[in-house]
Amino acid sequence: MALLETKGLTAHYGDFQALFGVDIHLEQGETVAIIGANGAGKTTLMRSITGVLRNAPEQILHNETPIGHLPADTIMKRGIAMVPEGRKLFPSLSVEENLIIGGQHKGGRDLGDRIDSFLSRFTGAPDPMELAAGHDGAGYWTLETIYELFPILRERRHNPGTALSGGQQQMVAIGRALMSNPYVLLCDEISLGLAPVVIKDIYAALPKIKESGASVIVVEQDIGQALAVADRVYCMMEGRVTLEGRPSEISRDDIHAAYFGAVA
């Protein structure tokens, strides 16, 4: 049983169709990389899975439950957390507050959800606690363990999130997503705009993240980085998956063809 699966996923921005029947899956404990050029539909795929873009229910399955129609906050409460492209830290919040808010509304911890859950007995609306599928957000990751993973953040914890360097901001964004102790961590372009040495530091955290029980999807433009960390790779082009395979099984020519649409 796949932990997370898309089936014939389509996505539109107005009249523009961005995804044409994308099928990917993520197994428990896996790291999957999604590569592709700008405009290939990688970020749209992430936005669909996280519920920022809404889809038909059956197009996205989490533990075989249809979730394509659920809003972003419910998806997060099911244990699917996102490190968004461009980091998107909250400028009004300090580093520590940015981390705390990542875990503040995890499954079942939210007063509003408890009230809605109670009301749903009478109104027939879907019960938000049920939609959260029992993910209680408990686990290895706390402020303390995030600071162990990225010690520099402890020193900077009272700074505004946006006053940090790009790499440190990325650490905050990753820590913020981990604070909900997700089953699935989606990382969108986490190396974009960072120096190679900083990228290395960020990816050095991946084994620890895997050890905590999260399965990971990384979206990367850096093919070398993607092949180095992933168990399986999908390559996308123009809204379709053009290649799938294990890094050891696919050749440079395969990737080149899948990435650019022509063999060099």
Rule CB under 8 A: which residues touch another protein? 50-52, 71-73, 76-77, 81-82, 84, 88, 90-93, 97, 100-102, 104-107, 110, 112, 176, 180
Closest distance to another protein from the beta carbon of 2 (Å) = 22
- Cβ nearer to another protein, comparing 22 with 82: 82
Contact between residue 132 and residue 77 where contact means Cβ atoms under 8 Å apart: yes
Contact between residue 27 and residue 215 where contact means Cβ atoms under 8 Å apart: yes
Largest CA distance in the chain: 63
Tokens 């940015």 correspond to 98
> What are the counts of helices (DSSP H) followed by strands (DSSP E) for the chain?
12, 10
For 181: left if phi > 0, alpha if psi spans -120 to 50, otherwise beta; the answer is left
- Cβ nearer to another protein, comparing 73 with 231: 73
Closest distance to another protein from the beta carbon of 113 (Å) = 9
Closest distance to another protein from the beta carbon of 161 (Å) = 10
Closest distance to another protein from the beta carbon of 223 (Å) = 27
Residue ranges of E strands in 95-195: 184-188
- Cβ nearer to another protein, comparing 62 with 232: 62
- Cβ nearer to another protein, comparing 86 with 207: 86
CB atoms under 10 Å from CB of 21, counted, come to 13
Closest distance to another protein from the beta carbon of 102 (Å) = 6
- Cβ nearer to another protein, comparing 51 with 139: 51
CA–CA dist 65, 68 (Å, integer) = 9
> What are phi and psi for residue 192, nearest 5 degrees?
-60, 125
